[in-house]
């Protein structure tokens, strides 16, 4: 199965819902979409991996580079919906610590 991407914008957030496999053959499409969103001025980008059944090292590379590109543009990029093999690879590589939003990122900056 290939990769299908669907982008929605709501409440100041751009969400890319991915479906299928993120691999060597499809990762360029995801990279392009993420770069376009950040370069177009989106400040909060969420990659929804709920319907992704596989992500190899090229997909991880795209996510890491997009995260770094977003940070360089004062934007935020996070991942949501990872489960099964995809969640396992994010946790095994340690990428879950900065790609998956947690309670700390949701708290106000002043700590209250």
pLDDT attached to residue 109: 39
The verdict on pTM exceeding 0.85 is yes
How many Å apart are CA 46 and CA 87, to the nearest integer? 16
pLDDT attached to residue 103 = 46
Domain locations in the chain as residue ranges: 3-99
Q: Kindly give the parts of the chain with pLDDT less than 70.
A: 1, 102-112
Distance CA 21, CA 24 (A): 9
Indicate the CATH number for domain 3-99: 3.30.750.24
Look up residue 102 and give its two tokens: 């947690």
């Amino acid at each position: 199965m290939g990769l299908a991407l669907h982008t929605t914008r709501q409440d100041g957030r751009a969400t890319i819902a991915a479906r299928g496999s993120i691999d060597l053959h499809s990762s360029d499409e995801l990279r392009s979409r993420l770069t376009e969103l950040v370069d177009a001025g989106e400040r909060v980008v969420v990659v929804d991996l709920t319907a992704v059944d596989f992500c190899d090292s090229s997909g991880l590379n795209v996510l890491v580079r997009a995260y770094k590109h977003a940070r360089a543009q004062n934007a935020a990029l996070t991942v949501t919906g990872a489960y099964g093999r995809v969640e396992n690879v994010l946790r095994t590589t340690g990428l879950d610590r900065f790609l998956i939003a947690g309670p700390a990122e949701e708290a106000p900056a002043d700590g209250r």
